[in-house]
Structure 1
Amino acid sequence: MGGKLLECEVKIETPIKATENPRKVLESILNIFPKIKIKETDKSIKGEGGIEALEELKESLEKRRIRSTARKILYENRIGPKTTFYLNKQAAFIGKTNILEEEISSLGDIKIEIISENLKEVIDWLAPKIEDEPQAN
């Protein structure tokens, strides 16, 4: 990366349904985003951070060998300087990364927005092209 520090803004949000334990919802988020700054309300948990908030997600995408899928979703959902994707809340609770293009769970998934003037570079860092995986982009 030539020594240039990547910068981005990371925003996450997930609803807390009446049937859910707010502590477990918070744990789901912190399992994947331990460095995110959390704001809780009765109905949702929101978080904000920078590129460092994505480090655990980056490792998880690599370990689970789903970088190509993640890369495809990140590029497909890109609008200007922002991309949006979702993580399954139940999978996150057990420390697994299940990346989604759109919200599908009845409990509400974890919505993640990445905003950067250098979004392509951030995506390339988070989910780089891998030679031995099927290519998404």
Structure 2
Amino acid sequence: MSVVYSVDVEITVPVNDTEVTARVADAVRNLFPEADPAHREGGLVAEVHTMEGFSQKLHEAEILDTARSVFFDTLSGDTFSFDLKKQAAFEGRVNFAVGEASELGDIHVEVTVREPDAESYIDAVAPPTEDGKPVDPE
């Protein structure tokens, strides 16, 4: 039996005067295909209830250990967050933004896990690895 997760994923991203809003929305959808970004003053927002598409990108890029590190570094209670580079996202690549925000701003993602717990959800999105390969928990 598979685990059913209950999560709220809020995605916010600034859109600058020099950027095309539709391209920024495409960048969000490239990493979160379930997202439907809506315009809000100064940027876009979207809410999804899964990170399945994003998880697939992490697996394809073979950056599960990096993702786990970022997720656990920001984990507080049932919430974790991270920032992603817009240009890489527009190209369909995951590139975590660390340090200072880029000049045009980054895609900010905040994940709140309701069920079962944040650690289990992180394990589902970015499973632990051994020699760079996901470890099967069974």
TM-score using structure 1 length:
0.89
What is the Cα deviation at residue 100 of structure 1?
A: 2.8
User: In terms of mean alpha carbon deviation, does 39-48 or 99-108 score higher?
Assistant: 99-108
What is the Cα deviation at residue 4 of structure 1?
A: 2.7
Taking the TM superposition and a 5 Å limit, the aligned residue runs for 1:36-75 are 36-51=35-50, 54-75=51-72
Question: For residues 103 and 109 of structure 1, what CA distance do their matches in structure 2 show?
Answer: 10
User: In terms of mean alpha carbon deviation, does 9-18 or 35-44 score higher?
Assistant: 35-44
Question: For residues 120 and 95 of structure 1, what CA distance do their matches in structure 2 show?
Answer: 26
Equivalent position of 1:11 in the other structure: 10
What is the Cα deviation at residue 7 of structure 1?
A: 1.3
**1:25-55 deviation digits (Å, cap 9, x = unpaired):** 011001111112322124110000102xx11
**1:55-101 deviation digits (Å, cap 9, x = unpaired):** 11101111111010000010001111110101100000011111234
Question: For residues 36 and 43 of structure 1, what CA distance do their matches in structure 2 show?
Answer: 18
**Aligned residues with identical type, % of pairs:** 30
The list of structure 1 runs, each at least 4 consecutive aligned residues, that deviate by more than 3 angstroms after superposition, is: none
Query: Unaligned stretches of 5+ in structure 2?
Result: 134-138
Q: Root-mean-square deviation (CA), in Å?
A: 1.6
The yes-or-no answer on 1:80 pairing with 2:77 is yes
One-letter code of the match for 1:47? A
